[in-house]
Chains A and B, each alone.
Chain A
Amino acid sequence: DQQVKQNSPSLSVQEGRISILNCDYTNSMFDYFLWYKKYPAEGPTFLISISSIKDKNEDGRFTVFLNKSAKHLSLHIVPSQPGDSAVYFCAATYNFNKFYFGSGTKLNVKP
């Protein structure tokens, strides 16, 4: 049973516009959420995270929003750049014991 879901396998955005990647989860016990970026043939790289006590965390061009009532989080990238093209995974954990990953969204930022 997939506890973390990314329902959009791919997303295409024009350079300079906003990219919005979505993630849903089912386990209300999750208390920390993370986004990772992955290039082909490489391991994922940590991007940004948010604790369940917050609803927004911002780091430069990247902002993560958390809606606990809807069990939904999203990653906003503004402005999008061609170098942002990669696969983005959201992940969730409780007590940092295990990390559950979504299936990833492949972002393509067109010049």
Chain B
Amino acid sequence: GAVVSQHPSWVICKSGTSVKIECRSLDFQATTMFWYRQFPKQSLMLMATSNEGSKATYEQGVEKDKFLINHASLTLSTLTVTSAHPEDSSFYICSASRSDRRDSPLHFGNGTRLTVT
């Protein structure tokens, strides 16, 4: 159990366009989901915490107008990279923890490789 599905797994877009990434918890409810970004050979960088029914909490240095997060239901959070630029090319990973278990570890999606040309 505790499967997190992320879609798409990879996407190539042109500079200036927007890209939406979906994160779904398939067999559990997730009040909170997290969005991470991973640069090559570097750590997972927390971008924002997505809370169902409320505004996301962004980490320092992350542009909330550029990385739009919507958490409309207990099983779905979306990240939209607006007006993408080549420097936004990265590996984006979502994660979620079970709402019904306080001590639930994070479960990750398989990530989305974004390439902006």
> Residues of A with Cβ closer than 8 Å to B?
2, 9, 32, 34, 36, 41-46, 49, 51, 89, 91, 96-104
Contacts and interface: CB of A to CB of B under 8 A. Distances in A.
B42 A43 contact: no
Interface string B24-36: 0000000000101
Given A42-B110, A96-B103, 17 more contacts: A9-B41, A32-B103, A34-B105, A34-B106, A36-B108, A41-B111, A42-B111, A43-B110, A44-B93, A89-B44, A96-B97, A96-B104, A99-B34, A101-B44, A102-B43, A103-B43, A104-B43
Contacts of A51: 103
Contact of B111 (A34, A43, A101): A43
Contacts of B91: 41
B7 interface: no
B105 A44 contact: no
Interface residues of B, number: 25
B95 interface: yes
Contacts of A42: 110-111
A42 B44 CA distance: 12
B6 interface: yes
B84 interface: no
B108 to A, nearest CB: 3
A100 to B, nearest CB: 7
A46 B106 contact: yes
Contacts of A44: 44, 93, 108
Contacts of A9: 41
B106 A99 contact: yes
A98 B106 CA distance: 10
Interface string B82-105: 000000000101010100001111
B92 to A, nearest CB: 10
Contacts of A2: 43
Contacts of A89: 43-44
A43 B97 contact: no
7 contacts: A2-B43, A89-B44, A91-B106, A96-B103, A96-B104, A98-B34, A99-B46
